[in-house]
Amino acid sequence: MPLSTQGLVLDANSPIDFQLHTVFSDGVWTPEGLLDHAKAADFGLIAITDHDRVDTVADLQTLAAAKGMPVLVAAELSTRWKGQSVDVLCFGYDPAAPHLRQVSTKLWDMQNANITQAFARMRSKGYTIIKDLLEEDEVEQAKMLAGILALPSARQPHELAKLLAKLGFEGDEPALWQAMQEVGVRFEGNEIAPVVEAVHADGGVCLIAHPGRGVYYPIFDPPMLDELRAEVPIDGFEAYYPLHKPEQTAMYIEYAAKHDLLVSAGSDSHGNNRDPIAYPAHYARKLLERVGVTVR
């Protein structure tokens, strides 16, 4: 497959953004709308990192060629490390290789199984939090579940929460997500080691996404990074991220330089929370050169 990045040469200050999400996962951007926005804003290169979607590369590359807006082959894979959620950004892998496809298919199957089980629990009699919100007939309930399972895995828990709200769940958003946890809903993830192995087998590199974000994710400091790297051959991390504090960004850059690791820069734009950020290409020079893009 001809890639839109083939022979690409970027100026050191050419704008890039290497974490963007579309309707192919849990974003609001359409791929067409996102590429039009990036081109109008004079981005030199973007990466669409839809969660656990390695099956959309061909369509995105075809669209990138038609729009004249280079798009780096990429995806954000959902993983777990020591029982915690750790997102991994994968760049530059061979779209025709099988290993990442197998990993993402496994994740989709896991999420489908989780949502199916949670939906059954919601329907069970006497469940104290959900009560009798689901009283539709069996056919209608099957349609509801099938509609959710047809969605990208990253959207499924959100759509189940929307269904509960639509059916009249009483309570604020924290109470709603507490109810979701009560019925066993979770955002599934593969163990990180086989994901990294698959990325490397398919010729790509893998970086920890937003390592200093926190909230639902661990906040990586140097000792934690040392521990992770002792277990998994991670290639680097997303040092430039809008929710990182300046001292965190500086620490990640210093750590990467010390250990000869790659650095990426991404806005995490989903289209409804923030626009893409124009990071200069030289922020991710080493990463770009690793995936075959020249920075002058």
pLDDT in tens, 111-120: 999 999 998 8
**pLDDT(231) > 60:** yes
Band (179; pLDDT cuts 50, 70, 90):
confident
Question: Measuring CA to CA, which residue among 207, 208, 228, 219 is closest to residue 82?
Answer: 228
Mean pLDDT lowest among 42-51, 128-137, 222-231: 128-137
**pLDDT(247) > 80:** yes
User: In angstroms, rounded to a whole number, what is the distance separating the alpha carbons of residues 281 and 70?
Assistant: 13
Prediction pTM value = 0.92
Predicted pLDDT at 2: 86
Predicted pLDDT at 133: 55
Report domain extents, the chain: 9-99+205-295, 104-182
pLDDT in tens, 33-55: 999 999 999 999 999 999 999 99
User: In angstroms, rounded to a whole number, what is the distance separating the alpha carbons of residues 206 and 209?
Assistant: 9
**pLDDT(180) > 80:** yes
**pLDDT(128) > 50:** no
Predicted pLDDT at 1: 78
User: In angstroms, rounded to a whole number, what is the distance separating the alpha carbons of residues 239 and 164?
Assistant: 37
Looking at CATH, the fold of the domain delimited by 9-99+205-295 is given as TIM Barrel (3.20.20)
At 209, which amino acid appears?
A: A
Q: Where are the alpha helices (DSSP H) in 131-232?
A: 138-149, 156-166, 173-182, 192-201, 222-231
Task: Report angle CA 244, 19, 245 to the nearest 5 degrees.
Answer: 5
User: In angstroms, rounded to a whole number, what is the distance separating the alpha carbons of residues 119 and 185?
Assistant: 9
**pLDDT(21) > 60:** yes
